[in-house]
Amino acid sequence: MSEWISVAGRGGQFRAYVARPNKTLAPSVVVLQEIFGVNKDLRATCDELAAHGFIAVCPDLFWRQEPGLDLNSLSSAEWEKGFSLYKAYDRDLGVRDIADTVLAASRLDGASGKVGVMGFCLGGLMTYLMAAREKIDAAVAYHGGDTEKYLAEADKITAPFLMHLADEDEFISKDAQAQIKSALGGKSNVEIYGYPGCNHAFARHNGTHYDAAAAAKANERTWRFLTDHLS
């Protein structure tokens, strides 16, 4: 079952897509978008999480700039629009919006109270920042661009943290990946997996660089990780 809800944030009201499992009590996972809004791909990700027993909540991160963004063709014009919103996005305010979403997710009917955060690209970075700055129960980041710019905050991450990196990511250089692994790899609460031969967004449904085998492996790791830490 899925629906749209309104989140009462400290900066205003914004929408979130919610997918629910077929069970009476479940942990919640806040799912954070790429630059294309809460689109078909993110809704499918939420539906998959619900099928694995989680309440998935995907907030509209760009609600201050262009509420309801839903880009799916990923044409050059849509990429240009997404990147322009990404560049103007206030990440500090974004952390606050996500924290408000986490609180709302913990209070939904049927929610157990435990909440994880997972995200892709921009959402992967925001997952990292949430883990560093807010209290959450678990975090999963898929190829979070610009993470290397915030590694001074790495020691603040105490929640269980799972990171997926594509070895051939065109937006996260090998040097940036090495910096991330150096800062986080020795932490007992952090797991980092690389995916050889994969490009950015290798787990995006039907994306240009979608790799079915790598996506399946990453997603299985994610579902198991979230089950282990949110149950």
Cβ neighbours for 7, distance < 8 A, ≥ 6 positions apart: 13, 14, 15, 16, 59, 97, 100, 101, 104
* pLDDT at position 86: 97
> What pLDDT is attached to residue 74?
86
Provide the pLDDT for residue 206.
82
- Catalytic residue set: 169, 200
Domain that holds residue 203: 2-230
- What is the average pLDDT across 182-203? 97
Q: Mean of the per-residue pLDDT values for the chain?
A: 97
CATH number at residue 106: 3.40.50.1820
Q: Which residues pair with 191 in a beta bridge?
A: 162
In which residue are the tokens 């978008």 written? 33
pTM for the full model? Answer: 0.97
Number of domains in the chain: 1
The string of pLDDT tens digits covering residues 49-85 is 999 999 999 999 999 999 999 999 989 999 999 999 9
State pLDDT tens for residues 10-47. Answer: 999 999 999 999 999 999 999 999 999 999 999 999 99
